[in-house]
Chain A
C-alpha cells in the first residue's frame, strides 16, 4: 500500500570532478553514483529506482542511460528513467524523484545527473546547446546560448544603468569560491580586468562572463527520513520544492530582465518550506552567465529588481557575506555539465549542511536553496534544504 511520507531527505552525495574528462558518460555516471552510495553508507540493493538526468547522451553514443547505469550498479532489475530539461535537467529530475519518495512509491532512490560533451569541440557544443532554445524563433536565426543571455544583458544594461564591469564582479566572486572547491572545473583567480579583456563571445558578454562547457556527473541518494534514520548516516531534509515555467522564447516575455519561472518556482518552494527569501543562508543559483546570477538573485527575492547588480558590486553575495551565493563556485567556476548541474547543486547542499565543505563552508548555515533552470529559464526548479 502506498502511504505518503512527511520528510524526504538527502542521505548521501557524490560527484566526479567537473571539467574535460576522458572517461565515458557511463563511467563518470557510475563513479558519481558509487560515491553517493558509499557516502550514504548503503548498498546498491537498497536503491529502489534510478532517476538519471542528461541532455546530450547522443554525443557520447549513449541514450537510454537509466538501465545502463542500473546494470553497472548491479541492480538491473530496478526501474529507471532518463529526464531531459536542458540545463535544468538535474533539478527537474530531482523534483520528480522527490515527488515519488514523498508519495510513498519508493523509500530510497538514486538521482544522478551527467553530461559528456567537451570532446565534440566548441562549435558543435555551441550548436547542440542552441537546440535547447525555442529553435524556430531563436536558434534558427543564429542565436547561440551566450547570445540569448547577452540579449538579456543588453536589456539589463539599458534598463538599469548597470555596467559590464558590474557583471564581471560575479565572475570574480565565483572564481574566488571555486578555487576552494577541489571538484571545480576552473580553479583560477581572475580580476575584473581579466574579464573585461577576454574575447567577446556575444556582445556584451565576454568569454569570462560565460560558464565553461564541462563534462561531469553528480549523484545523490534521496530517501524517507525513516530510512535515513535506520542507516545512522548524516542527512539533510528537503523542505521545499517548487517548479515554474516561462515563455520558451525571450520574445514572448513581458520583461526581458526577469525570468518568470524562477519567480513562480521560488515562491512555491518558500511557501512549502514556510520561509521567505530572507531566511535563506546560502544558495546555489543558475549562473550560466554573469548576467544570469544578477537576474536570479533578484527573481529569487534576495534583492529588489535592478538592485542585484549593486549587491554584487558591494560584495554582498560573497562567501560569508550577507548571503553566500554559489559557494561551490557555481556554474561559472565549478563548471556546467548541463545534465549534472542541478544534481551537483544538491551535492553542495549536502556537503555544506553536513559540515563537509571544508574551506568554502558557509558559517552557521541551516537553510540552503538550489535554483536551476533550462535554456533561458523556460523550465525551472527551486528546492529548499535544511540541516537536522
Chain B
C-alpha cells in the first residue's frame, strides 16, 4: 500500500514520484491511548493511536496499536513496526 497521498513535492513542486518499498520500522514520535472511541473501534478499546518516524525514509506515518492501556506501556521513542493494514488503518506493534 502507499503511505503517502501527495501529488506534488512540498519543497520543489515536482510531481513525478517513484515507488519505494520501505521497511516500516521506526520510532514513536507521539501517541495517545483512546478510551472513548469513535464508531467501529469499541471492541478494540483501549488502544493507542501512534505517530511514527520511519527509520529509512524522511516520512512519518500514523496508525493503530492494540494492547496499550497505560502510558507506561509505550514510552515516546519506542521502536515499532508496521505489520499490516485492515479496518483499523495501519497496524503497528513493538519491533
Name A residues whose Cβ lies closer than 8 Å to a Cβ of B. Answer: 122-124, 126-127, 130, 136-144, 146-148, 150-155, 158, 199-205, 249-252, 256
Contact B31 A204 (CB under 8 A): no
| Apart from A126-B36, A142-B37, A202-B33: 9 A-B pairs, beta carbons within 8 A | A123-B39, A141-B88, A142-B49, A148-B49, A152-B30, A154-B76, A201-B36, A203-B70, A205-B32
Nearest to A207 among chain B residues (CB) is B36
Contact A144 B30 (CB under 8 A): no
Contact A155 B38 (CB under 8 A): no
Interface size on B, residues (CB 8 A): 29
Partner of B38, one of A142, A154, A200, A252: A142
Contact B38 A203 (CB under 8 A): no
> Are A141 and B63 CB-contacts (below 8 A) given A147-B49, A155-B30, A256-B51?
yes
Count: A-B pairs, CB below 8 Å? 104
Contact A158 B76 (CB under 8 A): yes
Partner of A202, one of B34, B70, B76: B34
Instruction: Collect the chain B residues with CB atoms within 8 Å of residue A147's CB.
Output: 32, 34, 49
Contact A251 B36 (CB under 8 A): no
Instruction: Collect the chain B residues with CB atoms within 8 Å of residue A138's CB.
Output: 49, 62
Instruction: Collect the chain A residues with CB atoms within 8 Å of residue B33's CB.
Output: 150, 200, 202-203
Residue contacts A-B, CB under 8 angstroms, 27 given: A126-B36, A126-B37, A127-B38, A127-B40, A137-B5, A142-B40, A142-B47, A142-B64, A143-B34, A143-B49, A144-B37, A144-B38, A150-B32, A152-B30, A158-B76, A199-B35, A200-B35, A201-B35, A201-B36, A203-B32, A203-B71, A204-B32, A251-B51, A251-B62, A252-B60, A256-B29, A256-B51
Say if the beta carbon of B41 comes within 8 Å of chain A: yes
Q: How far is the CB of A153 from chain B (nearest CB, A)?
A: 8
CA distance A147 to B60 in the complex (A): 17
Nearest to A131 among chain B residues (CB) is B38
Q: How far is the CB of A255 from chain B (nearest CB, A)?
A: 10
Nearest to A149 among chain B residues (CB) is B32
Contact B30 A158 (CB under 8 A): yes
Contact A154 B64 (CB under 8 A): no
Report, nearest first, the 10 A-B pairs whose CB atoms are least far apart: A141-B89, A150-B32, A251-B60, A155-B30, A203-B33, A143-B49, A127-B39, A140-B89, A127-B38, A142-B41
Contact A142 B89 (CB under 8 A): yes
Instruction: Collect the chain B residues with CB atoms within 8 Å of residue A148's CB.
Output: 32, 49
Q: Which among B49, B70, B89 has the highest number of chain A CB atoms within 10 Å?
A: B49
Q: How far is the CB of A257 from chain B (nearest CB, A)?
A: 9
Instruction: Collect the chain A residues with CB atoms within 8 Å of residue B47's CB.
Output: 142
